[in-house]
Amino acid sequence: MYREIQPKDNAKLADIIRKNLEAYGLNVPGTAYFDPGLDRLSDIYLPGSDRYYLVLTDDNDEAVGGVGLAGTDLFPECAELQKLYLIDEMKGKGLGRELVGRIEQKAAEMGFERMYLETHTCLKEAVNLYKSMGYELIPRPKEVIHSTMNRFFLKTLVDGNK
């Protein structure tokens, strides 16, 4: 099941994100691991703002993964795809692709025309997923916050000629 983030998801999602980053040696400064809002994502992705976080849940409505978006000024009419993570048991089932597709749809509904993302070369599965979904590698924007990230992608979501 998919739904919008709720306060009850905060601890579980923070744990999922940290465990994933630890598994790849990315539990270092300059990654989401140390984001000040990581333990309160439901506050960060407030309804009615230019942010949204989609949670994937199990049969007990417990978070097993998710993905977010937030408006960014890096490019016109652009949102940043953020914090795509799953528990290990959910990986390899096409759920990452499903989450990205759903968050892209939400971004388009919110009026965004592009989706930007930052990742790292050691996250090979994520890099391959993004490439397979039409994301194009771009040079590092000068405004990058997560200094450890070393791959940057951009995708056009809708025709700019509307």
Candidates 117, 99, 86; CA nearest to 20 is 86
Read off the pLDDT of each residue in 59-81 and give the average, rounded to a whole number: 97
CATH architecture of the domain covering 2-156: 3-Layer(aba) Sandwich (3.40)
Indicate the domain borders of the chain: 2-156
Given a cut of 70, whether residue 161 has pLDDT beyond it is no
Contacts (Cβ under 8 Å, ≥6 apart) of 128: none
Strand partners for 52:
69
pLDDT at 29: 87
**How sure is the predictor about 30, in pLDDT bands with cuts at 50, 70 and 90?**
confident
Read off the pLDDT of each residue in 26-39 and give the average, rounded to a whole number: 91
